[in-house]
Amino acid sequence: MSSRKITRALISVYKKDNLESIIEALASQKVELISTGGTQEFIEKLGYPVTPVEKLTGYPSIFGGRVKTLHPAVFGGILYRRDDGGDLSQAKEFSISGIDLVMVDLYPFEETVSQGGSTEEIIEKIDIGGISLIRAAAKNFQDVLIVSSRTQYQEALDLLRNKHCSTELEDRQRFATMAFDVTSHYDSAIFQYFNRDAATLSFKSSLMGGRALRYGENPHQKAVFYGNLDELFEQLNGKELSFNNLVDTDAAIHLLNEFPDETAFVIIKHTNACGVATAPSVKEAYLKAFQADTLSAFGGVLATNKPVDLEAAEAMNSLFFEILVAPSFSPEAFELLKTKKNRILLRQLQPVAQGRQVKTLLNGVVEQDHDWKTDTEEDLKVVTERVPTEKEIRSLLLASKICKHTKSNTIVLVQEGQMVASGVGQTSRVDALKQAIEKAKTFGFSLDGAVMASDAFFPFPDCVEIASAEGIKAVIQPGGSIKDQDSIDSCNKNEMSMVFTGYRHFKH
């Protein structure tokens, strides 16, 4: 029979929040309670009888609590098969009584690491008995119900109440699946801690709490987001975030990270910036960013690193856009912007963690550091006779920041705190430059005195020659070509300045 009545329960949890109702439900059905340490004291304070696990095993808790439940009287009671004659005979021979419910909440290993615990504190938060109990009970899901995390308490309570402490096979199997999710995640976190210097080349990553998306990159593709978006954003308005929304928001946030000390505004379309600007106010920064490409901004993702006030909201409200991300919105700005019910407004709660980049590739996975390098004035090596002015240096650094977050091959053109155009994702650098020039002219920009950034070196002087003909006066690039001198000579000939950074910023 698939139905199992719970008559004995072993409960050993780290955190006792919301545990009382479950204890009451079990006690109301005369379930025998077995427990350890703090959980035992908790149950006793509620006034219910509880059997100490030491009475079951004949051993006290030893080695500072490291060994409490690791005993055949406990694990035999969980693992013996109720429909196996041999197991039943052995259970009777060794006086092992069945345990039908196991409840565990593991030591908070990840929390201890994230809170900066000492090595000793972290090691002591590696749960041994608890993880073993979970695996044993989950393995024997045919007979035993396992509740492996306090996040499952409510679901477990509903089950116990609705079925009067009986369970069906499908219930136990569902909870077993969740249990192995808990244990695999826990073990992955421990491995990541021990392998934080990446000495062992083994890829393990675990994220709890998947969220099914409306669809993937296209409507015929299914998609799930794994992670806790609520830690990063508070959604104040609008429809559910889609796959493409998340991808573009990620691009916007990483680009904004380049401007910790300036008021910046970015407009993203298909992960590329179609507008970026810095200015004294959010309104001014938005208008300058929008001016760069008033066509592509339609349906884009907007983001700023400063609070949005009413003036800024009024400036952008007439534009159709998918998302606006900001650290906060004034009450007046929020009231205006939320008038479009599907418009997504996100309040960013914290920066994006500086983790590693992971991508599925062929029959495996590649992992790398994020490109956290931001080119600074100290990185610049002037290689031409003409030295860029201070104003040009500021523009060059802005262009370089944008270039780093744009699909290769790319060229970015900037004038006084404003991206005026970019050429993105081209198969040649010349094509990228021509695309940028054409776009700048389309939206009425003069390139006289503008600066140019390239994500990689110039193998030939052709880009410098084309740029010079348009009035561009300064260039930033990593350098490193065997023909660097040809581009330098072309700059000198055309009275342009060029700086090398020594850092390439490909983005694929």
User: Among all residues, which ones are annotated catalytic?
Assistant: 139, 270
Q: Are 272 and 439 in contact (CB under 8 A)?
A: no
Rg (CA), the chain: 31
What span, in angstroms and rounded, lies between the C-alpha atoms of 39 and 49?
Answer: 12
Q: Are 68 and 36 in contact (CB under 8 A)?
A: yes
Which stretches of 278-343 are DSSP H helices?
282-292, 310-316, 331-337
Instruction: Quote the DSSP letter at residue 4.
Output: E
Say how far apart CA 77 and CA 91 lie, in whole Å: 8
The C-alpha angle with vertex 249 and arms to 374 and 316, in degrees rounded to 5, equals 100
Measured between alpha carbons, how far is 376 from 502 in angstroms, rounded to an integer?
11
Strand 344-348 versus strand 356-361 pairing type = unpaired
In terms of C-beta density within 10 A (0-12 exposed, 13-18 middle, 19 or more buried), how is residue 151 classed? middle
The bridge status of strand 264-269 relative to strand 272-278 is: antiparallel
Distance CA 422, CA 453 (A): 9
Q: In whole angstroms, what separates CA 99 from the centre of its chain?
A: 39
Which residue in this structure is represented by tokens 């509880």?
50
**Residue 225's CB: how many other CB atoms inside 10 A?**
16
Residues 6+ away with beta carbon under 8 Å from 211: 224, 225, 226, 229
Peptide bond preceding 492 in cis form (omega within 30 of 0): no
Residues 6+ apart with CB under 8 A from 199: none
Rounded to whole angstroms, the Cα distance separating 142 from 154 reads: 22
User: Scanning the structure block, which residue is given the tokens 């197991």?
Assistant: 87
Which residues neighbour 37 within 8 Å (Cβ) at sequence distance 6 or greater? 12, 61, 65, 68
Collapsed DSSP state (helix, strand, coil) of residue 323: strand
**What are the two backbone dihedrals, phi and then psi, of residue 11, each rounded to the nearest 5 degrees?**
-125, 120
Among 258, 406, 237, 259, smallest CA distance to 322 is for 237
DSSP-assigned letters across all residues of 351-364 = PPP--EEEEEETTE
